[in-house]
Chain A
Amino acid sequence: MIDGFAVELRQVVKKFGQVTAVDKVDLQIRDGEFFSMLGPSGCGKTTSLRMIAGFEMPTSGQVFIGGEPQGYLPPYQRPVNTVFQHYALFPHMSVYQNIAFGMEMQKVDKNEIQQRVGETLEMVHLSGMDNRRPKQLSGGQQQRVALARALVNRPKVLLLDEPLGALDLKLRKAMQVELKILQDQVGITFIYVTHDQEEALAMSDRIAVMNQGKVHQLGTPEEIYEAPANRFVADFIGESNFVPGVMQKMGPPAEISVTGTEQPIAVEWLEDGINAGDAVVVSVRPEKIRIHPMGQAPTYPAMCRLSGQVEKVIYLGTDTRYLVRLNEESAVVVRLQNIISGGGHFNEGEKVDIRWDSAHARVFKE
């Protein structure tokens, strides 16, 4: 591998008629990485994956696998294997025949096929199921067969297209852990497509957040959650408050006047291209906000403070959520962990102060 990337997309564009599904995407996926492409349906993540697999050809740009440009190579000449969303197991073949299929096509020696199928079945905990038909297996078992069928070929890269989408929640959680362990075991690069942000956060080394054919942010789960690059990412990953305001002073320290309040608040991070006087939103995660009885919030430097009234209290077991109304236009969700049993620190209708560290706020274009 010349450049050290398992897969690289360079200026890749895919158009279906008038619709641009993937718009000048650049991605560099490292060797051995668990890489996720995350986004809502229609964001171009599946199309990107299909271009790596060779099921779709880019309108322009180039896909590299192991440093080699793939051009118009058909799927059967690419060193990748895919786990499909609905498994796509061959219904007219047994589990054994399904798993052996790829090796038979590559003319692998019969004895080796037998040995490798056995090993792989063991790896996915399906030993002894050789002669079953896919129809006789549960959803979770079919999923494992699909995994085994791909992994047994020892591809450079494993492509997974929402592989857990068809499973129920509990099984999905279990399979997430199992997939992660499996990846550590085999050491193959995984490219994982999902619309489930929790899944992506839990499993990935790095995530590409996509929307409308473009990569909006590329980073580790922590980077993406703690430092979203724009409003879409902040909104799509986890939960965020968006408080509208106007850019007052570019700074440093930069200041924003929140709509409906007089006192400006300090902010540290601004999205590129914001100018004084622009309408903006301040984005803060609910768990980063503290809540105090009116007038009792301590003041520190770099601390933003706003007043409001508790409108709704929702008890959620591990934590309680307070909807705090700042004014007619905006309200903020605050999440407090229930460290002391009994919850209910604040009541509906109570006047409160909320505060957050200005380092935790991100300012995006309206």
Chain B
Amino acid sequence: MSAIIPETRASRMAHLKQRISNISLNFYGILGYLFLYTPIVIVVIFSFNDSRSTAQWAGFTTHWYVDMITDSQIIISLWNSLFVAIVSTIISTIIGTLAAMGMERYRFRGQLGMDALLYLPVIIPDIAMAIMLLLFFNLSGIGFEVWNVNIFGINLAVPYSVIIGHVAFNIAFVAIVVRARLSQMDRTLEEAAQDLYANTWETFRKVTLPMMMPGILGGALLAFTLSLDDFAITFFTSGAGFNTLPVRVFGMIKKGVTPKINAISTLMLAMSLILISFSLISRKRGGEDQSIEMF
């Protein structure tokens, strides 16, 4: 029996160590989340602050939201943002998906180089991309025509350059997400379809596309979010007088931070949350087969 006692003590020590390390790990995790989310929570709270000051709490109000909605400049820039995001998402999702299929399914000369070039927009800083695009548009002289649209009675004048710029960086993100999905897809599924009398098009429509869909949706949502969020590229490529929401906010901040900006931020945060929820749900649905573990 005596031989057992030191063993028990040792195991008790080990248990204690384990507990301490668990508690400290939890604490560390909570600290991390606090660091990330405290500023966001503060923005949300102060968007309801009944005071011009952004430092002191002076009671609850929705005044700033009313102020925001009635500001026609903000509404126009919001529609600009949504319009650019929707159009560039549609275009970049199609091109990005095709690029992913080409890269994944075919072997050709210079593929490695093409691969690296395709993913470059993910790696290089936005500002570099923005300057490059600006130079391109200036030198080529294309893209500064505007697309006039009327949405719910609001007239928008969207420069093509902004849409082209957004498409340019979104293709890379769509391609990465779709390709991750494709690389996990079992090629024999397509052979099975062909073996069962489905021609190339039917195989694509009935098997390849449905299997790729979670990746395509995930890529599209990512592209939409990034487009909505973009400042640098829009700012550099839009020319004078065109504002998306982030560009508009930047312009307002130069005149001082007001609670109205907090309200806009909260609105954008809400939109992002909704998009991320959609993206998670679509990924989870697809994940029943094979999940993509990107981003």
Residues on A lying within 8 angstroms of B by beta carbon are 53-55, 74-76, 80-82, 84-86, 88-92, 101-102, 105-106, 135, 149-150, 153
A102 to B189, CA, bound (A): 13
Known: A91-B289, A135-B288. A75 touches B188 (CB 8 A): no
Q: Inside 8 A of A55's CB, which chain B residues have their CB? A: 191, 194-195
* Cα A102 to Cα B202 with chains together (Å): 11
Known contacts: A76-B197, A102-B197. The answer to whether A88 contacts B192 by CB under 8 A is yes
16 contacts between A and B (CB under 8 A): A53-B191, A74-B199, A75-B195, A76-B194, A76-B198, A82-B191, A85-B188, A86-B186, A91-B288, A91-B289, A92-B211, A101-B196, A101-B198, A105-B197, A105-B198, A149-B196
A-B contact count (CB 8 A): 64
Excluding A75-B195, A88-B189, A106-B197, 12 further A-B contacts by CB distance (< 8 Å) are: A55-B194, A76-B196, A76-B197, A76-B198, A81-B196, A90-B189, A90-B193, A101-B193, A101-B198, A105-B202, A149-B196, A150-B195
Separation of A53 and B195 alpha carbons in the complex (Å): 7
Contacting A at CB under 8 A, from B224-243, are none
Nearest-CB distance from B237 to chain A (Å)? Answer: 40
Q: What is the CA–CA distance of A84 and B194 in the complex, to the nearest angstrom?
A: 13
Q: Which residue of A lies closest to B211 (CB)?
A: A92
A85–B189 CA distance with the chains assembled, in angstroms: 12
Give the interface centre of B191, B192, B193 by most chain A CB atoms within 10 Å.
B192
Contact status A76-B199, CB under 8 Å: yes
10 pairs of A and B residues whose beta carbons are closest in the complex: A102-B196, A105-B197, A88-B192, A75-B194, A88-B188, A91-B289, A82-B195, A76-B197, A105-B198, A92-B210
Q: Chain B: interface residue count, which band? A: 20 to 34
Contacts of A88 in B (CB 8 A): 186, 188-189, 191-192
Q: Which residue of A lies closest to B213 (CB)?
A: A92
* B207 within 8 A of partner (CB): yes
Pairwise interchain contact A81-B195, C-beta atoms closer than 8 A? yes
Which residues on A sit within 8 Å (CB–CB) of B191? 53, 55, 75, 82, 84, 88
B interface residues with partner A (beta carbon < 8 Å):
186, 188-189, 191-200, 202, 206-207, 210-211, 288-289
B186 (CB) vs chain A CBs: closest residue: A88
Once A91-B289, A92-B289, A135-B288 are accepted as A-B contacts, the answer to whether A105 and B188 lie under 8 Å apart by CB is: no
Smallest CB separation, B16 vs chain A (Å): 43
Q: How far is the CA of A88 from the CA of B206 in the complex (A)?
A: 14
Contact indicator B211/A153 (Cβ below 8 Å): no
Give the Cβ gap from B193 to chain A, nearest Cβ, in Å: 7
Inter-chain CA distance A86–B189, complex, in Å, is 10
Contacts of B192 in A (CB 8 A): 82, 84, 88-90
Q: Given the complex, which residues of B lie within 8 Å of A74, measured CB to CB? A: 194, 199-200
In Å, the complex CA distance between A149 and B202 comes to 17
Bound-complex Cα distance A317 to B5 (A): 49
Contacts of B193 in A (CB 8 A): 90, 101
Say yes or no: A90-B202 contact (C-beta < 8 A), given A106-B197, A149-B196. Answer: no
Contact between B288 and A105 (Cβ–Cβ < 8 Å)? no
In the bound complex, how far is the Cα of B220 from the Cα of A352, in angstroms? 80
Q: Give bound CA distance, A89 to B189, whole Å.
A: 7
